[in-house]
Structure 1
Amino acid sequence: MHALSIPTWIIHVSSVIEWIAAILLIWTYGEVKRDRTWWGLSFAMLPALVSAMCACTWHFFDNPASLEWLVTLQASMTVLGNITLCAAAWWIWRSAQKPERKNTTTRAAKDVTIDVS
């Protein structure tokens, strides 16, 4: 536990707590909006949370060589988390574009008049 200073520990722990709070708030937002894409974002945030917990665990035990596998797991979860967050952001963006397409099509159909005489 002596590997990090107290202020650094405060930053590490508060970052993990903030990330958990963000996941819960995004999940709740998805429930309020009834939009599953936001639930997807909250799930996509989990690998990054695991990554942060790996870092905190490794530092808590003073960075021993026997736990170096946590460093590899942390790096892997960071990569996976970046990929899942990118995918979730794309899913949210794509779902936000769908109503615009419908409105554009509807407007275009209203503007066209067909003369059948």
Structure 2
Amino acid sequence: MHALSLPTWWIHITSVLEWILAILAVQAFGLRRGEGGWRWLALAMVPALVSAMAACTWHLFDNSEALKGLVVLQAGLTALGNGAMAMAAWNLLRRQRLSPEDEPS
């Protein structure tokens, strides 16, 4: 645990907790609005969460060379998560444009 200072650990841990709360908030928002597309956005946020957990795990073990694979996993999950969130956002936009309440009377 010597790789990071205590304030840096604080930021890492609170960022992971904040991301979990964001996923739950997105899910709750979608349920409240009755729009299923928000579930996809919440699901698309999970790879970024796992990516952050992989980074924290690597730092927890002092950036050990034996765990260098976690860095590759973290990078891959970040890319996957960013792509998934972009697709989920596009899906929300598409659903909004197809919404019958937006059609002129």
Please report the TM-score for the alignment, with normalisation by the length of structure 1: 0.85
Q: What amino acid maps onto 2:43 in structure 1? A: F
1:102, distance to aligned residue in structure 2 (A): 5.9
SS of equivalent residue, structure 1 residue 92 = helix
CA drift of 1:30 comes to: 1.1
* Runs of 4+ with deviation above 4 angstroms: none
Distance of 2:35 and 2:100 partners within structure 1: 16
Q: Which residue in 2 is equivalent to 1:33?
A: 33
The CA distance in 2 between the partners of 1:56 and 1:102, in whole Å, is 44
Aligned counterpart, 2:49: 49
- Three-state SS of the structure 2 residue aligned to 1:3 is coil
Q: Which residue of 2 aligns with 1:15?
A: 15
CA distance in 2, matches of 1:85, 1:4: 29
Partner of 2:67: 67
Distance (Å, rounded) in 2 between the aligned partners of 1:92 and 1:78: 21
| Counterpart in the other structure of 1:114 | none
RMSD after superposition? 1.3
For residues 22 and 6 of structure 1, the distance between their equivalents in structure 2, rounded to whole angstroms, comes to 24
- Structure 2 gap segments, 5+ residues each: none
Q: How many residues align?
A: 105
Q: How far did residue 99 of structure 1 move?
A: 2.5
* Structure 1: runs of 5+ lacking an equivalent: 108-117
The structure number with the bigger radius of gyration is 1
**TM norm structure 2:** 0.95
